[in-house]
Structure 1
Amino acid sequence: MKKTSIFISLFILVAFFSGFSEDKHISNNITNFTASISYVPTEKESIAYNFQAPFVGNSFNGFREAIAFKESQGKYHVTNSFGYLGKYQFGKSTLERFKIYDTQEFLETPELQEDAFVALCSVNKWILRKDIKRSVGKTINGIEITESGILAAAHLSGAGNVKKYLRSNGSTKFKDAYGSSIQHYIKKFSGYDTSFIEANQKATI
């Protein structure tokens, strides 16, 4: 009887400590999809892996996850009714700008989608660099202009349309096929820290 009790006690202890070891292993194996970004976990990941770190908030990671949720609810494999692809809903012509021609591979490769988003932000920041300098801090149609709002709007409508909107002081407007406007994106995605993004006309993946 004593031997049986000792055996059961040892078994419970081993199982208990094994559980801690497994949790530690999981928390040390989080994938960073974009090598060029210092990884900051999302709120969901923080809960799942028990991160002892602040939520993304207004960081660049918070910015991209907010856009991704708006575009596709954060799903990598989505193609919408107009043929826009992936987590950030890229058009085929934009992907070709970064020499991405295999759309199926793109949908199946999260790392590629994350890198494409960063590269597009870099290109848009370069195209809009003068407008960012002139417009950030101003108010157009009652909305404060921020760099992150400008970059989000450029993702929606293209940098050229954002340039027209800013230079016309908000009188030249644009809406996509689903009714989302430049003005809405500038407001919704204001105040994020996008200083990480470098303006680069020739950004590649």
Structure 2
Amino acid sequence: MLKKITNYFVIPFAICVILMTALFPKTTVDMTNFSTEGLELNYTVSEDIALLSAAEGTNPTLTYDKYFPYLGKSYLGFKEALAFKESRGNYFTVNDFGYLGKYQFGAETLKLLGVYNPQFFLYTPELQEKAFLANSERNKWILRKDIARFVGKEIHGITITESGILAAAHLAGPGSVKKFLRSFGGYNFSDAYGSSISHYMKRFSGYDTSFIKPNRKAKAVL
């Protein structure tokens, strides 16, 4: 009886296997058709950045929006645009003059913000973000009267905005920005790489920096 039941299931199964083998013969896939040999696969953004940097001076209408996520004119957009200009957004870089991190802070400025360990600062992105905000708050307090007086006016064809003033203060310090504004552009500090106050005033104009509150005693604290 058991033998008959076994035959009842085994024989039809064997017939199905034979039919499948006949109808769908085994084929060999030529894997050379799927080879990646000769293809350029090491995609990075380095070439785009290099091209953008080279073209920046010759094409004033060229913007980073074509290459990077659009963050708009918010505080986030402001700080990320400034960070890209300073360091390409790299938290862990140190330039030839010893300026540190994503926003390229000097050691003396960090001391004003309560940061006394540059090495720890360099490897702590959260502290770098807090330092940027604290420095902006401090600069906004120092420049509060100049912001009230000059925003909306034009100096050498540049419309003065609060974000432009704060960006220039990050570059050159609030004292230099006061001199620029009060001399109506007669004093125009440039750093070692040739970036000037007027350039930062124009490049970083029109961002919403209302998030930054004036604070004379602002510190970067984790």
Pairwise TM-score range, normalised by the shorter structure? 0.7 to 0.9
**SS of alignment partner, residue 104 of structure 1:** helix
Residue number among 169, 176, 194 corresponding to 1:154 in the alignment: 169
Residue number among 87, 97, 108 corresponding to 1:93 in the alignment: 108
Determine what percentage of the aligned residue pairs are the same residue.
64
Q: CA offset at residue 100 of structure 1?
A: 1.1
Distance in 1 (CA, whole Å) between partners of 2:72 and 2:171 is 21
Q: CA offset at residue 56 of structure 1?
A: 1.8
**SS of alignment partner, residue 99 of structure 1:** coil
| 1:95-114 deviation per Cα after TM superposition (whole angstroms, max 9, x unaligned) | 11122111111111000000
Stretches of structure 1 lacking an aligned partner (at least 5 in a row): 2-42, 48-54
Distance in 1 (CA, whole Å) between partners of 2:175 and 2:183 is 12
Q: CA offset at residue 58 of structure 1?
A: 0.4
2:192 is the counterpart of 1:168: no
Letter in 1 for 2:159: E
2:99 is the counterpart of 1:84: yes
Letter in 2 for 1:97: L
Q: 1:135 maps to what in 2? A: 150
Q: 1:200 maps to what in 2? A: 215
Stretches of structure 2 lacking an aligned partner (at least 5 in a row): 1-12, 14-64
Letter in 1 for 2:106: G
2:80 is the counterpart of 1:65: yes
Letter in 2 for 1:145: I
Distance in 2 (CA, whole Å) between partners of 1:172 and 1:107 is 32
2:118 is the counterpart of 1:103: yes
For the aligned residues, what is the CA RMSD? 1.5
Letter in 1 for 2:163: S
List structure 1 segments (4+ residues) > 6 angstroms apart after TM superposition.
none
Distance in 1 (CA, whole Å) between partners of 2:147 and 2:76 is 20
Q: CA offset at residue 184 of structure 1?
A: 0.1
**SS of alignment partner, residue 171 of structure 2:** helix
Alignment: residue pair count: 155
TM-score by length of 1: 0.73
Letter in 1 for 2:96: S
TM-score by length of 2: 0.68
Distance in 1 (CA, whole Å) between partners of 2:78 and 2:114 is 25
Letter in 2 for 1:95: L
Q: 1:180 maps to what in 2? A: 195
Q: CA offset at residue 180 of structure 1?
A: 0.4
Distance in 2 (CA, whole Å) between partners of 1:76 and 1:116 is 12
